[in-house]
Amino acid sequence: MPRNNAQLAMIFQQMADVNQVVGGNRFKTIALEKGARVLKDFVKDVGDVDPQDLLQVEGIGKGIAQKIGEFLRTGQVVEHQEMIDNVPAGVLQMLDIPGLGPKGVAQLWNDGGVESIDELKTKIADGSLEPLKGFGKKKLEKLSASIAFAEKAGERTHLGYALPLALAMIAGLEDVKGVERIEYAGSLRRGKETIGDIDLLVAAKQKDAPGIMDVFIGLPMVEEVLGHGETKSSIRCDDEHRNIQVDLRVVDPKHYGAALMYFTGSKEHNVKVRERAQSMGYTLNEYALADKDDKTKQIETKAEEAIYKKLGLAWVPPELREDRGEIILAEQGKIPNLIELKDIKADLHTHTTASDGKWSIEENALAMAARGHHTVAITDHSKGQVQANGLSDERLVNHIEAVREVAKKLKGKITVLAGSEVDILSDGKLDYPDELLAELDVVVASPHAALSQDPKKATKRLLKAIENPYVTMIGHPTGRLVLRREGLSPDIEALVKAAAGRGIALEINANHWRLDLRDTHARLALEHGVKLAINTDAHGQGDLTQLPYGVLTARRAGATKNDVINCMTAAGLNKWLKSTRP
């Protein structure tokens, strides 16, 4: 997302939240929230758009446009600062508690006298909030659990925030004098769903290191320099970049392979590799693979492949370096040829303006074709998702006709399938009758409500959905939001076995907030021969950038392109889809 857009979206959302907390005009809240959403999806940087043209963008009215102009001129929105100055900082921090929301924060502040998270924890513990309307014992217990979860997650950030930041920093450093190679390492290189901090590694001669460090600490996203040395520096990024810490190390090119391997991790993987090296008469550290008895006899380690090869191992892709049996596979030469982004040729879970999307059916399909996809499924929400403008039975019938018309128009350019993301209700029933589901090409059955359901009930609920003969795949099965909501905790193995029996797919929702199935669940699915689907759940053009996160999650599971239905040929996918139906 362009920087100005991101900053303004954050400002407008915070203004909307504060407006609700202080009981402001609800239409103002709606306008601010809409402005934030529009800016998140707006492809161009608003700084590059004529102010008059902004008024032609749906969702940007005169007031929002004026605030955008003010920010572009001055770097701030005065009203934003005035609003947050009128609310205690601790109250604003309470807005980050999952499941509470502005109205809940307002009630706790106004009626409960709570002005900080610490004060909230104290009052929950002593029971003084129980008389508060709507905050009974069970509600407060859930709130306490949400606080604990948020605090536990607070030191990490999403893969979807960390990866673009790392790539932006690399872009700012790769052309600096002396930089021969530069890559990100750590948990980010391994594709983990959350990141503690970012490690950047540069191959350069010692004489060039100081100049590289000077450029690094002067990058535009740097808020604070935590340490500045000749071969290592650390910075903290600004609020826009989630205050992530980034460490940069410069190593001699001849040590780069060993250093990249060491700083990529995981710790457990590195231990296994070091143990193997020692058993073969070597020593391995962040500088080199060397003779154990004469450490001056170093093996050339400009690239990781050289280390693995010398140790009799196939190179292990970073995503597999979690000590989950990858060393044995590398020894046997059985490391899978992992799926790559270029292998994805279809998206089978997308939304349009028919429900809560930002683009038409045709705009959606043309964007997919432009990315080289041969197939897209239009899967707007079912009627149970009222807040997402879910389609009633009658509207779905008309929507199917509209999709078929676009499919005819674009025949030869891309295959457009009629589908639906159908709610799995709390009892396991689907949101549409079977006779209507039978008219669809793709049915993505997903849980959206009752996400704190007992694990046994959740398992029974999802199993019932899998049994439906018209279900193509189960979408984001747990309904979690990374670092925000734990979602359902069903018996994943039971679901996997049921999916295998039915011959349907399980989805890895690529949106960085979801990544659901998570890597370990996807790995289990593969072990039982279940096909995966990697979908963007795209609601607009901007969401297409989410796809790499789904691919990274699949790679961590050990998936090849043969494991993922989105990688099939058009004919192969069509045949597979038909095989899932009566």
Answer for the pair 339, 563: CB distance below 8 angstroms, yes or no. yes
Lowest mean pLDDT among 36-45, 66-75, 373-382: 36-45
pLDDT at 336 (0 to 100): 97
- Label each residue of 26-90 as H, E or C: HHHHHHHHHHHHHHHHCCCCHHHCCHHHHCCCCCCCHHHHHHHHHHHHHCCCHHHHHHHHCCCHH
Can you read off the two tokens belonging to residue 269?
């993987």
pLDDT at 41 (0 to 100): 66
Stronger pLDDT, 409 or 223, i.e. the higher one: 409
> What DSSP designation does 530 have?
P
Cis ω before 266 (30° cut-off from 0): yes
- Tell me the CATH architecture of domain 158-332: 2-Layer Sandwich (3.30)
pLDDT of residue 416 exceeding 80, the answer is yes
Give the residue extent of every domain in the chain.
Answer: 3-153, 158-332, 341-579
Q: How far apart (Å, rounded) are the C-alpha atoms in residues 159 and 553?
A: 10
Signed CA dihedral, 4, 5, 9, 15: sign only: positive
Angle, alpha carbons 580-426-499 (nearest 5°): 25
Q: What is the band of 1 on the pLDDT scale with cuts at 50, 70, 90?
A: very low
Residue-wise pLDDT for 348-369, tens only, equals 999 999 999 999 999 999 999 9
pLDDT at 482 (0 to 100): 92
Residue-wise pLDDT for 309-318, tens only, equals 999 999 999 9
pTM of the model: 0.77
- State which fold the 3-153 domain adopts: DNA polymerase; domain 1 (1.10.150)
Largest CA distance in the chain: 79
Domain 341-579 has CATH 3.40.50.620: no
The percent of residues in the chain predicted with pLDDT above 70, rounded, is 98
